[in-house]
Chain A
Amino acid sequence: MVAMRSRRIFGVCGTVVGVARDRRPMSEIGSEPDVRFSYANERTFLAWNRTAMALIATGLAAASVLPKFSFGGGRRLIGVPLIALGATLALTSFWRWQANEIAMREGRPLPPSQLPRILAVGVAIAATIAAVVAIVGAR
């Protein structure tokens, strides 16, 4: 069970890293897809990128605007995970765009996306940390 799960995790990471290392020019891969699909892929990337920037801005705001907690570093504890999540999303969204573009050019189905899972888990963790800090650190 553990071996299967780790194989799956490494498979997903391997796919992502493999695609990220594919440095061939796009024009050499497959054939030109319908431009509207490329635009849709680009807009999806931009939407993920804006989500990443929103997370970074929110994290920074949490680290500077929130009132101080009863223990040191409480605001950073809330803000830094959000910023880190934003940076991770930005990087992953590029890999995702690239994987989609290559799949479309090669006429393959689009690969499954891990981004919604990363975002959902990350936001849930950040929210849990924020709730704990708010309860424990309330003055």
Chain B
Amino acid sequence: MLQSPRQSLQSLPLLALGKPRAPMPDEPNPSWIIPDDEGVPGLAGERTDMAWSRSGLAVVACAAAIAKKTLSNLHHVSGTTVVFTGILVAGISWLVGLGWARLIARGTMEGRTAADRRMIAVTAYGTVALGTVAVVIALLPS
């Protein structure tokens, strides 16, 4: 017996959208479960390390945006000065942002057991300060 095009499509497992799906298993796959005795942070620590690195890069990007806006307001400054100042600001941002992130990552690898409140507060207030500077710069007459 010939199948209709719809029937033949539904017979393909990937395209059988209308068919009822197999029920989910009651028990989770054993490979998903993290054993309780695994006290080491392992991959979680590594992900946190990468998150700090990304945040460092975000600081660099934010500082670069502020530098661009600040330098564009200074019309009387020569192009060479602008380029060199830009490189300097990017370098300082890199050192402050990414260097800070690496420092924290090293702490992670040495077995830091909990986030330090001061460290988180410095990061948050630093971003608020960056935002305040950005507001001031944005309100400056261009």
Contact = CB atoms under 8 A, between A and B. Distances in A.
Contact of B69 (A33, A60, A91): A60
A36 interface: yes
Interface string B23-53: 0000000000010000101001101100110
Interface of B: 34, 39, 41, 44-45, 47-48, 51-52, 54-55, 58-59, 61-62, 65-66, 68-69, 72, 113-115, 117, 120-121, 123-125, 127-128, 130-132, 134-135, 137-139, 142
Say what secondary structure dominates the interface of chain A. helix
20 contacts: A32-B114, A33-B114, A35-B114, A39-B45, A39-B48, A54-B58, A56-B62, A57-B65, A60-B69, A63-B69, A64-B72, A76-B139, A80-B135, A80-B138, A83-B131, A83-B134, A87-B132, A94-B121, A94-B123, A97-B124
Contacts of B123: 45-46, 49, 94
Given A46-B54, A79-B138, A98 B117 contact: yes
8 smallest CB-CB distances across A and B, nearest first, come from: A87-B131, A94-B124, A90-B127, A63-B138, A39-B44, A46-B51, A57-B65, A53-B58
Interface residues of A, number: 41
B51 A38 contact: no
Interface centre among A53, A59, A80 (most CB of B within 10 A): A53
B135 to A, nearest CB: 5
Given A63-B69, A63-B138, A53 B127 contact: yes
Contact of B115 (A42, A59, A91): A42
B102 to A, nearest CB: 14
Contacts of B127: 49, 52-53, 56, 86-87, 90
Contacts of A42: 48, 51, 115, 120
Interface of A: 25-26, 32-33, 35-36, 38-43, 45-47, 49-50, 52-54, 56-57, 59-61, 63-64, 76, 79-80, 83-84, 86-87, 90-91, 93-94, 97-98, 101
B41 A46 contact: no
A53 B138 contact: no
B70 to A, nearest CB: 10
A53 B51 CA distance: 14
B66 to A, nearest CB: 6
Nearest to A97: B120
A48 B114 CA distance: 19
B51 A43 contact: yes
Nearest to B66: A60
